[in-house]
Chain A
Amino acid sequence: MITFIVRRLIAAIFLLVVVSLITFVIFFLVPRLAGQNSYQLATQYVGRNPTPSAVHAVEVKLGFNEPLYVQYGRFLKGIVLGAHYSNGPSTTFCPPPCFGYSFRTQQPVWPQMMSDAPVTVSIAAGAAVLWLIGGVSIGVLSALRRGSFFDRLSMGTALAGVSLPVFFTGLIALELFSYKWTLFPNVQYVAITSNPLLWARNLVLPWIVLAFLYAALYARLTRAGMLETMGEDYIRTARAKGLAERKVIVKHGLRAALTPIVTIFGLDLGLLLGGAILTEVTFSMQGLGNFTVQAIQNQDLPEIMGVTMLAAFFIVIANMLVDIVYAVVDPRVRY
């Protein structure tokens, strides 16, 4: 088991290096292949209406005229050791892990992302708990009462949940529960450290809206998985032993049906941690999703690259955890 985890860990680190390489290639090599020279690349890194000499200064400062492997080496070195960026008269040190320096905001990228990350983590984690509990229990009940009114109602709702985008359900939720009935007035992110109650109260709507989407998906998945599992021979064996039906369902049925859900859950959560874009934008919360949107809108390459790497990091880590959890849950994986 330990060697399995170590092996997974090494694979994850290797994967991250590959991801950084690909990200680097996308942002530095592809523009060149598309015919952009290092001067034009440098214009992406300076503010509006730059003078040619300013652009050229940036080009030299960021080393765009150097060979690509040198640039990649510096990029990696920045992540590990930090890097210095001269910003006009002064020089700014970007401490490790340095994922670049935004000339637009005149700040290193990493601390910005770290100040936005708690918002995304709060939204994603809370919603994940809701959708996992809600989706799985609705799915199980639907499967056990297949064809019943409850089943049809919940699967119809699930279809709606999968189909309706967050910016639709989110705005409706805001209109009804924040403005009309003011159950949750003035929804904005409050740090959990400053006021946990307010933090939770203000996040209720984003949680529910985001969880609705995923719960719908998970309810359908769980239902399908349960229907399949409950038809397995080992369920009949469990009944033949004289187990109470509840135990048959939970211990034998759900246990097996949940295994694939674990995989999807890990990946979904990993993906969301990289930025719950629609939810954050809809509820105007400054998390990684909003950060990404702003970075793209401003064509702020260091920021885009930083957030891409961070999102990739979350997914790789989630993947690794899924593999490890899977090995714990399914004894057949270990060998």
Chain B
Amino acid sequence: MAGALLEVRDLRIHFPTDDGLVKAVDGLTFTLDRGHTLGIVGESGSGKSVTSLGILGLHHGGSARISGQILLDGENLVAADPGRVRELRGSKMAMIFQDPLSAMHPYYTVGQQISEAYLIHNKVGKKVARKHSIDLLNRVGIPQASSRVDDYPHQFSGGMRQRAMIAMALSCDPELLIADEPTTALDVTVQAQILDLISDLQEEYGSAVIIITHDLGVVAELSDDILVMYAGRSAEYGTAEDLFGRPGHPYAWGLLGSMPRLDAARTERLLPIKGTPPSLINVPSGCPFHPRCGYAELTGGKSITEVPELREVAPGHLVACHLTAEQQRTIWTEQIKVKLGGREEG
């Protein structure tokens, strides 16, 4: 345990467009230790994917403005030479993408695509790389790996493609693995297998993992820490127990309320969050969530005028909300938790 592998400090990624400045990520701070898993949760357009692409330096370099620090093992990737970031990409940090069919090249075999990264980052021949690909395919649970290595992605099923995608990401034993909605395109039964696989591999390789998702079930299963993002900022940041046991941000309550549950009675309605995510060009004044928040009036107008800072409500549990820790606790236990049917105890 050599401390944090990844430290992100005040990360901002802005895209100038014809309509205005899109603040996709606006002051994000988090840390990730080796062997730990961080879940980043949020609605579409909350900046989760841009954050992960930003870490890899894939955020459309030309027009984007990026500031802040991304420290990978102490090395600041924001200030680093693009060539250096490229060297780290695929070797020290790798990414699993959302839709494995479109994320894999249709004209190259699975084996070719897996060995590609291995060949660039290691001085080995094609034979060794091929052997390595077969080992990886075996490792991620693809049967008859030695023959399937020559198949094309379209010959794989959805779950197998995602396994191959994971093999691709693991080909250079990355210390940081980012999974962007790794299970969104998959059947529910396959989702569980893939999540198990990721956590098994994490144990085996000791990598730090970032899971990006809008599915709270996924983060509940895998994450040590959870970061809830809203409009490019962190709304709440804490351990999984904090988030599911004592969430402090009204947005987090909303996310928990909109999650369907099998054990709830069928007559119970979901509690969706009202409204739609804000435009990232005209982010609402003050707390970006206030137009959709049911508790904004309790802060005496502060929500509309002042941007809430991340405050520590308990050690390691940060919430960006003007409600006092006391108010958050009361509302959660007396109003929200009751409605959710006493869910997720501890």
What is A's interface to B at a CB cutoff of 8 Å?
232-234, 236-244, 252, 255-256, 259, 329-332, 335
Contacts and interface: CB of A to CB of B under 8 A. Distances in A.
B168 interface: yes
Interface in B86-121: 86-91, 94-95, 97-99, 102-107, 109, 113, 116-117, 120-121
A236 B60 CA distance: 10
A244 B117 CA distance: 11
Given A242-B120, A242-B121, A243-B116, A233 B97 contact: yes
A214 B237 CA distance: 59
A183 B91 CA distance: 56
A259 B105 CA distance: 13
26 contacts: A233-B97, A233-B103, A234-B102, A236-B53, A236-B58, A236-B103, A237-B105, A238-B116, A240-B89, A240-B94, A240-B97, A241-B94, A242-B88, A242-B89, A242-B90, A242-B91, A242-B117, A242-B120, A244-B86, A244-B120, A252-B105, A255-B107, A259-B107, A329-B107, A330-B107, A331-B154
A332 B152 contact: yes
Contact of B105 (A242, A244, A256, A329): A256
Nearest to A239: B58
A117 B64 CA distance: 56
Give the secondary structure class of A's interface.
helix
Given A331-B152, A332-B154, A240 B90 contact: yes
A234 B103 contact: yes
A243 B120 contact: yes
Contacts of B88: 242
Contacts of B95: 240
B52 to A, nearest CB: 10
Given A242-B89, A242-B90, A244-B86, A237 B103 contact: yes
A335 B168 CA distance: 25
Contact of B104 (A237, A244, A329, A335): A237
Interface in B45-64: 53, 56, 58
A214 B53 CA distance: 39
Interface of B: 53, 56, 58, 86-91, 94-95, 97-99, 102-107, 109, 113, 116-117, 120-121, 152, 154-155, 168
A283 B117 CA distance: 53
Q: Which of A241, A243, A244, A255 has the most CB of B within 10 A?
A: A241
B55 to A, nearest CB: 11
Contacts of A332: 106, 152, 154
A329 B107 CA distance: 7
A240 B58 contact: yes
Contacts of B168: 237, 241
Nearest to A243: B120
B56 to A, nearest CB: 6
A314 B164 CA distance: 44
Contacts of B106: 234, 256, 330-332
A154 B216 CA distance: 50
Contacts of A330: 106-107
B89 A239 contact: yes
Nearest to B117: A241
Nearest to B98: A233
A256 B89 contact: no
Q: Which 6 residue pairs of A and B lie closest in terms of their CB atoms, listed nearest first?
A: A242-B90, A241-B117, A242-B89, A241-B90, A233-B102, A234-B105
B152 A241 contact: no
A255 to B, nearest CB: 6
Contacts of B109: 331
A148 to B, nearest CB: 11
A242 B87 contact: yes
A227 B102 CA distance: 16
A256 B107 contact: yes
A92 to B, nearest CB: 54
Contacts of A233: 97-99, 102-103
Contacts of B107: 255-256, 259, 329-331
A334 to B, nearest CB: 9
B97 A242 contact: no
A234 B58 contact: no
Contacts of B121: 242
Contacts of A335: 155
A256 B102 CA distance: 13
A115 B158 CA distance: 57
**Residue of A232, A237, A329 with highest tally of chain B CB at under 10 A:** A237
Contacts of A243: 86, 90, 116-117, 120
A330 B107 CA distance: 6
Contacts of A239: 58, 89
B152 to A, nearest CB: 5
A325 to B, nearest CB: 13
A267 B91 CA distance: 44
Contacts of B91: 242
Contacts of B87: 242
Contacts of A329: 107
B104 A241 contact: no
A240 B104 CA distance: 12
Nearest to A255: B107
